[in-house]
C-alpha cells in the first residue's frame, strides 16, 4: 500500500478506515482500468470523502509519476492552484507563466508527458451558495473552465475532485461520479469500537440511522454519549435530541447554502415528517414556488446530498437534517407569533429561511431531474 513518499504532494495521512472496500474498488477501476480523466467523489460533510480520497491516492500512487493534493477550503485563486501544480510537476525551477490560459496550456502539456493524479479537495468552497444550479463564486469561474478542459482534453492524468455539492453539469465527458453514503451498522460499531459507548442491537440500529451512518456525526455524538450519558446509547436516544453543538454547526454550514426554493422544500418536508411525492410537493408549495422552481430545488437538494429518495419515488430528508429544519421552522414560528403574525402554510421559504421564494430561473425552461 502507498507509494514513494516523495511522489505525494500534500496527501493527508489516513487512519485505519472502516468499510469502503466496494467504493475503493469502484473508484480504482474508473481511474486505473477505464482511465477516466475526471472522477467526482460527492457527499455531505463528514461522510468521509477526504478520508477515502486520501486512501485511494495512497493506494494508487505507484501507478502515477506524481500525486498532487490541494484543499480548496481557503479558496485559492485558480491561477495559484495551477501555479502550484506546475511547480510541483516541473523538473526545472522555472516560474509558471502568467495568466490562466498559459498555465492551463502548460499543465495540459505536462499531463500529456506523464501520468499524474491531481486531487482537488472541497471544491464546494469555490461554488456560490444560495443559488439554484451550479455557479462558481465571483472570481473563481476559472475553476469551471479548468475542470471542463481537464475533463475534455486528451492527457494521461486524472483529476479526483471531492465536493459536498455536485460541481459539474452532465455534459462533461469522461467524468464519473460516486456519491458516498453512510457506514452500515457493523462499520459504525467498528468505527466507535474504541469509544466507551454501549447498547443493544436496537440501540445501535437507531443511533446509526439517526445520523445516516455519517462517521463524523457518529464520532461527535459518541463523545456526548460517553461524557453525558455514561456511555449508554439508549439513554442518549431517549433525549430525542439529534442536533446540538458541533452537529448543528455541521448541518448549518450546508443548510445556509440553500436557495430560497430549496429552503421551501426542506421546510415543508420537515414539517410533514414523512416521505412526500413530487405531486404532493407541488400541490402544497404552490403558488409561492413555481412548478419548475420545485423541480429545480429537488434536483439541487439531491446535488447537495441532503435529499433522499424513499420508496415509490417519494422524497425524504436525512433524519438529522429533518430535525434541524423542523427546529428552524418552529423557532421561526414562535418568533412570528410573538410579532402577532401567523405563518402562511404555503410560504415555508419565508418561515424557514427568512427569504421569499423567487421564480426559479430566467429562461423558463423546465429542467430534467436526473436521478
Ligand X SMILES: Nc1ncnc2c1ncn2[C@@H]1O[C@H](COP(=O)(O)OP(=O)(O)OP(=O)(O)O)[C@@H](O)[C@H]1O
70 lines the binding site for ligand X (CB under 6 A) = no
Stretch that binds ligand X, among 14-22, 25-33, 222-230, 311-319 (CB under 6 A): 14-22
Q: Is 215 in the site for ligand X (CB under 6 A)?
A: yes
Beta-strand (E) ranges in 166-213?
A: 175-179
Closer CB to ligand X, 37 or 55, in the complex: 55
167 binds ligand X (CB under 6 A): no
Give the H or E element holding residue 166: none
Q: Please identify, among the stretches 43-51, 104-112, 128-136, 140-148, the one whose residues bind ligand X according to the rule CB under 6 A.
A: 43-51
* Near ligand X by CB under 6 A: residue from 15, 193, 287, 364: 15
Residue of 185, 247, 231 whose CA lies nearest to 212: 185
Contact residue for ligand X among 3, 43, 96, 144 (CB under 6 A) = 43
Minimum CB distance to ligand X smaller for 122 or for 261: 122
Q: Kindly tell me which of 7 and 71 has the beta carbon lying closer to Mg ion.
A: 71
Binding residues for ligand X, how many (CB under 6 A)? 19
Pick from 37, 49, 189, 304: which binds ligand X (CB under 6 A)? Answer: 49
Beta carbons within 10 angstroms of residue 73's beta carbon: 11
Residue 125 or residue 259: which is nearer to Mg ion going by CB?
A: 125
> Interface with Mg ion by CB under 5 A: which residues?
50
By CB under 6 A, tell whether 127 contacts ligand X.
no
From the list 122, 188, 259, 292, which residue makes contact with ligand X (rule: CB under 6 A)?
122
48 binds ligand X (CB under 6 A): yes
**Interface mask (CB under 6 A) for ligand X, residues 195-214, using x and -?**
--------------------
Contact status, residue 290 vs residue 360, Cβ threshold 8 Å: yes
The per-residue DSSP string of 342-358 comes to ---TT-HHHHHHSSPPP
E strands, the chain, where? 8-9, 38-42, 66-71, 116-121, 158-163, 175-179, 307-309, 315-317
Which among ligand X, Mg ion, none contacts residue 47 (Cβ within 5 to 8 A by kind)? Answer: ligand X
**CA angle (338, 344, 350) in 5-degree steps:** 80
Q: Is residue 268 within 8 Å of residue 348, measured between CB atoms?
A: yes
Q: Are 147 and 104 in contact (CB under 8 A)?
A: no
Nearest-approach distance from CB 122 to ligand X, in angstroms: 5
Q: Which of 9, 20, 68, 103 binds ligand X (CB under 6 A)?
A: 20
d(CA 122, CA 51): 12
Question: Rounded distance, CA 146 to CA 192, Å?
Answer: 40
Neighbour tally for 92: CB within 10 Å:
5
Residues that bind ligand X (CB under 6 A): 15, 17-20, 43, 45-51, 122, 164, 191, 215-216, 219
Amino acid at each position: 500500500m502507498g507509494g514513494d513518499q516523495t511522489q505525494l504532494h500534500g496527501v493527508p495521512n489516513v487512519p485505519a478506515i472502516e468499510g469502503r472496500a466496494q467504493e475503493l474498488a469502484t473508484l480504482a477501476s474508473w481511474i486505473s482500468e477505464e482511465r477516466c480523466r475526471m472522477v467526482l467523489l460527492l457527499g455531505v460533510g463528514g461522510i468521509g470523502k477526504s478520508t477515502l480520497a486520501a486512501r485511494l491516492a495512497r493506494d494508487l500512487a505507484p501507478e502515477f509519476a506524481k500525486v498532487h493534493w490541494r484543499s480548496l477550503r481557503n479558496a485559492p485563486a485558480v491561477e495559484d492552484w495551477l501555479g502550484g501544480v506546475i511547480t510541483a510537476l516541473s523538473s526545472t525551477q522555472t516560474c509558471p507563466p502568467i495568466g490562466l490560459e498559459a498555465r492551463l496550456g502548460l499543465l495540459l502539456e505536462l499531463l500529456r508527458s506523464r501520468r499524474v493524479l491531481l486531487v482537488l479537495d472541497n471544491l464546494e468552497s469555490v461554488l456560490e451558495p444560495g443559488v439554484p444550479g451550479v455557479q462558481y463564486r465571483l472570481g473563481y469561474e476559472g475553476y469551471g473552465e479548468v475542470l471542463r478542459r481537464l475533463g475534455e482534453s486528451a492527457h494521461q492524468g486524472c483529476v479526483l475532485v471531492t465536493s459536498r455539492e455536485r460541481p459539474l453539469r452532465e455534459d462533461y465527458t469522461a467524468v464519473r461520479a460516486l456519491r458516498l453514503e453512510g457506514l452500515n451498522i457493523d462499520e459504525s460499531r467498528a468505527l466507535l469500537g474504541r469509544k466507551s459507548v454501549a447498547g443493544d442491537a436496537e440501540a445501535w440500529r437507531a443511533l446509526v440511522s439517526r445520523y445516516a451512518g455519517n462517521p463524523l456525526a457518529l464520532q461527535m455524538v459518541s463523545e456526548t454519549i460517553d461524557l453525558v450519558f455514561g456511555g449508554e446509547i439508549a439513554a442518549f436516544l431517549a433525549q430525542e435530541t439529534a442536533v446540538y453543538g458541533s452537529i448543528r454547526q455541521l448541518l448549518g454550514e450546508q443548510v445556509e447554502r440553500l436557495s430560497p426554493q430549496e429552503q421551501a422544500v426542506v421546510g415543508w418536508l420537515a414539517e410533514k415528517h414523512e416521505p412526500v411525492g413530487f405531486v404532493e410537493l407541488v400541490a402544497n408549495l404552490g403558488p409561492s414556488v413555481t412548478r419548475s422552481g420545485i423541480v429545480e430545488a429537488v434536483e439541487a437538494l439531491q446535488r447537495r446530498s441532503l435529499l433522499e429518495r424513499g420508496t415509490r419515488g417519494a422524497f425524504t430528508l436525512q433524519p438529522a437534517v429533518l430535525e434541524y429544519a423542523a427546529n428552524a421552522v418552529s423557532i421561526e414560528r414562535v418568533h412570528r407569533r410573538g410579532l402577532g403574525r401567523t405563518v402562511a402554510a404555503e410560504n415555508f421559504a419565508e418561515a424557514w429561511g427568512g427569504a421569499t421564494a423567487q421564480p426559479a430561473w430566467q429562461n423558463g425552461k423546465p429542467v430534467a431531474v436526473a436521478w
